[in-house]
């Protein structure tokens, strides 16, 4: 789990909970730096979500695991709808914020931690939410495939993964196109970025974060025991992949 000095995201959303209007800085390993749209998004109500995010909620069913739950906006919405939801986040302060906002079950766990010890949950899940661009938490082509297979240990037959991402190639900015070429030259996927998040004097460790095109998403899941069932399209290259567990794992 993150050390206190590394919990940049948690510090940012705690600041927002306290009435401030903070922004997070995302630093890429080639020196490119970007600033987020602000912490308000992590606290937004359903009525203020983008249309494609609201449409994606129609695919939620059964018991839900919200991976990278942040400030708990999806957990809180689904709780109100009567779903049994467990939120997880590697940020200790994010978990604190969720509990203060009355998320019923929220644990300080990463996706890797859950998949390494699938027996920590007494029941299996019917839906795994990976919203907020959290398809990226799969990290790389090989890890997507490995982790999808390991999701069998925490999900029921017919389970769904609802994961949002962005087509990294839907851009004409030279700094991104150059980065894609550099990635491919190193044997990485074009949209496999290495980043860290910064807020004030806090900085997370460097980590890989994967963005994929729709074509790549279909290719990645093939042969993992999961299938890409549908795409919920959004603006500016953003989309949500609804990935369903098939009855028998593919070989």
174: in domain: yes
Please tell me the predicted confidence (pLDDT) of residue 247.
66
For residue 127, how far is the Cα from the chain centroid?
A: 14
∠ CA 143-130-99, rounded to 5°: 125
The set of residues, in sequence order, having a beta carbon less than 8 Å from that of 220 and lying 6+ positions away, is 141, 144, 145, 212
Q: pLDDT tens digits, residue range 113-138?
A: 999 888 888 889 999 999 999 999 99
With beta carbons less than 8 A apart as the criterion, state whether 107 and 86 touch: yes
State the residue range of the domain holding 232. 51-194+205-245
Q: pLDDT tens digits, residue range 136-184?
A: 999 999 999 999 999 999 999 999 999 999 999 999 999 999 999 999 9
Buried b (16+ CB within 10 A) or exposed e, 164-180: bbbbbbeeeeeebeebb
Statement: residue 223 has pLDDT above 60: yes
Q: Report the mean per-residue pLDDT for the chain.
A: 95
219: in domain: yes
14: in domain: no
Q: pLDDT tens digits, residue range 57-70?
A: 999 999 999 999 99
100: in domain: yes
25: in domain: no
241: in domain: yes
Q: What is the CATH number of the domain that holds 233?
A: 3.40.50.150
Q: Residue 231: phi, psi to the nearest 5? A: -120, 130
Statement: residue 251 has pLDDT above 60: no
16: in domain: no
Confidence of residue 248 (pLDDT cuts 50, 70, 90): low
Please tell me the predicted confidence (pLDDT) of residue 180.
98
186: in domain: yes
- Pairing relationship of beta strands 207-210 and 192-199 according to DSSP bridges: antiparallel
Domain count of the fold of the chain = 1
Q: pLDDT tens digits, residue range 73-83?
A: 999 999 999 99
Q: pLDDT tens digits, residue range 10-37?
A: 999 999 999 999 999 999 999 999 998 7
The DSSP letter of residue 172 is -
């Amino acid at each position: 789990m993150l050390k206190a000095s590394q919990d940049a995201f948690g510090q940012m959303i705690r600041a927002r909970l306290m009435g401030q209007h903070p922004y997070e800085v995302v630093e890429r390993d080639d020196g490119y730096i970007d600033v987020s749209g602000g912490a308000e998004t992590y606290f937004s109500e359903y009525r203020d979500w983008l249309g494609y995010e609201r449409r994606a909620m129609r695919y939620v069913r059964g018991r839900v695991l919200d991976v990278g739950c942040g400030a708990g906006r999806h957990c809180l919405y689904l709780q109100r709808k009567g779903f049994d939801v467990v939120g997880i986040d590697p940020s200790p302060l994010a978990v604190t914020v969720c509990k203060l906002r009355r998320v019923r079950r929220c644990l300080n766990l990463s996706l890797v931690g859950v998949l390494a010890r699938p027996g920590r949950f007494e029941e299996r899940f019917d839906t795994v939410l990976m919203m907020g661009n959290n398809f990226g938490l799969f990290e790389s082509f090989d890890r997507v495939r490995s982790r999808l297979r390991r999701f069998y240990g925490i999900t029921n037959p017919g389970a769904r993964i609802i994961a949002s991402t962005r087509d990294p190639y839907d851009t004409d900015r030279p700094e991104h196109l150059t980065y894609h070429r550099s990635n491919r030259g190193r044997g990485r996927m074009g949209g496999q970025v290495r980043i860290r998040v910064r807020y004030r004097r806090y900085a997370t460790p460097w980590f890989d974060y994967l963005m994929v095109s729709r074509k790549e998403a279909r290719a990645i899941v093939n042969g993992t025991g999961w299938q890409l069932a549908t795409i919920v399209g959004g603006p500016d290259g953003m989309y949500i992949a609804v990935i369903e567990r098939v009855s028998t794992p593919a070989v």
